[in-house]
């Protein structure tokens, strides 16, 4: 099995009990992405609440994905573009409001960076807003608060949350709604005090299927990790489904195996073990120590321009370069020539590493598109990945970003592969 997509739940899986990612988890996820595996974070949180974690693991730089609202929306992390989305027609909300009133439930939904709720003193709703760093807004009626959304489908909500401390009330309400909304909307009982009403056929497994179809891969090439009931179908569907040690028994029974808990770096451990087995590399394909490379560049053009390698392998090379007096134009922005020098350096090193014994790489052609600017005082980051590694030539794509992730230049570098004399 060759893993091409890694899908992780967030709370209870990616995050520990303090709602933090460990250094080991961050390092592990960055490394698997550098080796070409796509990563998707799949969560019941709103998109706004998962963005900081996506950024921390460089999901935007590595063409990763965010699956939010328990699968109601799938976004490209680099562009924010939705590739899958299921929403709720606001005209259905008055019915939900009636059921909530009869059951004594508070109601809430997400709008932009706000949690809009009928009870802003409810501790679970307050915690939800704080956890996602979102503002709280009180309304007397959720249906009335959504009325202005009815004419624009692009603003329709992805879910309505019913909140109650009595799980039996929510369970009974879930059974009622499933009978009366079958084929129109679905429910997700994600934890003891939340019942989420979502669009029809919404779930992490449905979102994962849409993502697999977009990437042109099979479910056998997917590894999924989770800890909650909302993760069960996702774990069952993936080629490799892994339950966290802190998951309830009903979740563990649905997984291929169970790792350690989220407070014991269980996710990082499972990923490391899987990729040690599935992506074992031959000796000449290992990551190259960048401290040795940087020391060798001290008295070269690379050293003179302040370039520093941060990662190097035959399949990906990265480096940084400051925008300062050595690399800027007179009016304070990064010189195009310096960008091309960084691109040629990255592609050249990549080809050198990828060359077979007795071969050498010689630069043949470079073509760059400068799409935006980087300013004095910034540090740009170059990422080189191979497009073609042939017997006589290598073609590399090099993208250069500002420190905030804005694309500065996209460069194609062609190297000729020759025999050493």
Active-site annotation, residues: 344
Residue whose entry in the numeric block shows the structure tokens 């069960």: 232
**Token pair belonging to 399:** 């993208």
Q: Distance between CA atoms of 209 and 111, rounded to whole angstroms?
A: 26
- Torsions phi, psi of 186, nearest 5? -120, 165
**Residue 413 and residue 399 in contact, taking contact as beta carbons nearer than 8 Å:** no
Q: Where are the alpha helices (DSSP H) in 147-203?
A: 167-180
Tell me the pairing of strands 222-226 and 240-243. Answer: parallel
Tell me the pairing of strands 194-199 and 159-163. Answer: antiparallel
Q: How far is CA 3 from CA 39, 222, 271, 395, in A?
A: 11, 6, 10, 25
Residue whose entry in the numeric block shows the structure tokens 């609202």: 69
Q: How far is CA 392 from CA 312, 363, 365, 385, in A?
A: 22, 12, 14, 18
Quote the distance between the C-alpha of residue 119 and its chain's center: 32
**Token pair belonging to 138:** 């009180």
């Amino acid at each position: 099995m060759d893993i091409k997509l890694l899908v992780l739940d967030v709370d209870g899986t990616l995050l520990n009990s303090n709602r933090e990612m460990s250094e080991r988890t961050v390092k592990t996820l960055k490394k698997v992405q550098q080796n070409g595996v796509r990563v998707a974070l799949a969560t019941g949180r709103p998109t706004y609440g998962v963005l900081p974690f996506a950024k921390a693991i460089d999901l935007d730089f590595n063409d990763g994905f965010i699956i939010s609202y328990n699968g109601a929306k799938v976004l490209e992390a680099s562009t924010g573009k939705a590739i899958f989305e299921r929403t709720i027609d606001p005209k259905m909300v008055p019915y939900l409001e009636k059921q909530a009133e009869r059951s004594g439930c508070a109601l809430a939904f997400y709008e932009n960076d706000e949690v809009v709720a009928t009870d802003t003193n409810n501790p679970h709703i307050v915690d939800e807003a704080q956890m996602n760093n979102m503002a709280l807004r009180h309304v007397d009626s959720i249906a009335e608060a959504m009325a202005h959304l009815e004419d624009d489908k692009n603003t329709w909500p992805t879910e309505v949350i019913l909140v109650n401390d009595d799980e039996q009330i929510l369970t009974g309400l879930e059974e009622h709604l499933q009978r009366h909304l079958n084929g129109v909307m679905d429910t997700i009982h994600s934890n003891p005090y939340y019942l989420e009403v979502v669009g029809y056929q919404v779930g992490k497994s449905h979102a994962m299927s849409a993502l697999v179809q977009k990437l042109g891969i099979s479910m056998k090439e997917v590894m999924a990790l989770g800890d909650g009931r909302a993760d069960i179908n996702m774990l069952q569907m993936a080629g490799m489904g892994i339950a966290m040690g802190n998951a309830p028994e009903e979740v563990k029974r649905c997984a291929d195996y169970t790792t350690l808990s989220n407070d014991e770096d269980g996710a990082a451990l499972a990923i490391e073990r899987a990729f040690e087995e599935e992506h074992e590399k031959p000796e000449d394909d290992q990551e190259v120590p960048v401290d040795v490379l940087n020391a060798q560049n001290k008295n070269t053009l690379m050293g003179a321009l302040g370039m520093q390698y941060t990662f190097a392998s035959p399949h990906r090379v990265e480096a940084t370069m400051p925008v300062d007096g050595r690399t800027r134009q007179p009016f304070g922005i990064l010189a195009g020539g310096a960008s091309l020098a960084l691109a040629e350096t990255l592609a050249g090193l990549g080809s050198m590493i990828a060359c077979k014994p007795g071969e050498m790489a010689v630069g043949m052609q470079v073509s760059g598109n400068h799409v935006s600017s980087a300013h004095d005082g910034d540090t740009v980051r170059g990422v080189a990945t191979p497009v073609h590694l042939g017997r006589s030539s290598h073609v590399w794509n090099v993208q250069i970003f500002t420190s905030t992730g804005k694309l500065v230049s996209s460069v194609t570098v062609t190297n000729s592969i020759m025999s050493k004399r």
